[in-house]
Amino acid sequence: MNTLRPHYYDRFKCTADKCRHSCCKGWEIDIDEDSMSLYEQYPDIKCHIKDSSFVLQGNDERCPFLNESGLCKLILKYGEDILCDICTDHPRFRNYIGDIEYLGLGMCCEAACDLILNDTVPFSLVPSGEVLFGIDKVDAYEGKVSDLVRQLYAENSTCADRVSFYLTLECLDPVWDEMLKSLLDVEVSTQARDAFIDSNSLAFRNLLKYFLYRHMGHAGFAAESVRLIAEVALSSGHDLADICRIYSAEIEYSDENADLVKERMSV
């Protein structure tokens, strides 16, 4: 099988204890079969497993092996090879078309998010250098990013309609729910949103490329995601990178939520 990855993929590095939103908190950690067999040999690990998952602790649902300094006790004691697949891979994702595997970095990770949003190099896949899913058109477009978003997928709903739909989806973090509801209190105009997108053109251009790559050319998903993220940024006052991160965690890391968004964009 041929494997391709974005040009920035190999630059990713986990920030570990410096991370403000640890992936070792609030996430269910499922353990693959090979790792389960390995952990049978370690009583100090096995005692924290139930139903092939680590038993999370406390109100913040933290991994039992996350120490007070934000570092992994398993890595410190046994080395990185002891990690199960999900811990080794996160925040990486994989898509497949025929005999080609497309690797990527998910924006639910703040380090990946910063890397992607601030990238200044035209998108390419390594080792081949080819560009797919319409991403080349995003890099080549010389007009306003807000116009590009409109060309990718014509806007057919209002800000309030968009928010009302997203509020019907499963919510994993109450903060996301609060962000969405802030838009119902103070609806952002199309003009204000587009001005915000154009004033942050690099970040939003990179967002479009990320969504097109991760969702294999689904222009509707890319365009509507960008619109909502911009609207939430204006209404909530939260940092753009934080909104991208939580949007990815809420929508992209829930197959059901992502599928419902795509289904809506196909109507």
Around Cβ 39, how many Cβ atoms within 10 Å? 21
Nearest to 196 by CA among 164, 155, 236: 236
Is the domain of 163 the same as that of 224?
yes
Residues in the chain: 267
Q: Is residue 198 part of a domain?
A: yes
Domain that holds residue 57: 24-89
Is the domain of 161 the same as that of 258?
yes
The tokens describing 167, both together, are 């509020």
Q: Are strands 2-6 and 125-126 parallel, antiparallel or unpaired?
A: antiparallel
The tokens describing 186, both together, are 């103070």
3-state secondary structure of 157: coil
Q: Give the pLDDT of residue 191.
A: 97
Is the domain of 71 the same as that of 166?
no
Is the domain of 48 the same as that of 164?
no
Give residue 267's pLDDT band: very low, low, confident or very high (50, 70, 90).
low
Report which residue type is found at 255: D
Nearest to 207 by CA among 116, 114, 139, 140: 116
Around Cβ 158, how many Cβ atoms within 10 Å? 12
118-160 pLDDT, tens digit each:
999 999 999 987 888 999 999 999 999 999 999 999 998 999 9
Q: Is residue 101 part of a domain?
A: no
Strand partners, 93: 104
| CB contact at 8 A, 229 and 207 | yes
Residue 13 pLDDT > 60:
yes
For 132, phi then psi, to 5°, come to: -125, 180
Report which residue type is found at 217: G
SS3 content of the chain, % helix, strand, coil (to 5): 50, 10, 35
Q: Give the pLDDT of residue 39.
A: 94
Nearest to 135 by CA among 215, 201, 195, 194: 215
| CB contact at 8 A, 251 and 226 | no
Is the domain of 181 the same as that of 82?
no
209-242 pLDDT, tens digit each:
999 999 999 999 999 999 999 999 999 989 999 9
Q: Is residue 204 part of a domain?
A: yes
Is the domain of 237 the same as that of 141?
yes
Tell me which H or E stretch contains 2.
strand 2-6
Nearest to 112 by CA among 254, 6, 223: 6
Q: Is residue 12 part of a domain?
A: no
3-state secondary structure of 253: coil
29-66 pLDDT, tens digit each:
899 999 999 999 999 999 999 999 999 998 888 899 99
Q: Give the pLDDT of residue 1.
A: 81
Q: Give the pLDDT of residue 187.
A: 84
Around Cβ 20, how many Cβ atoms within 10 Å? 9
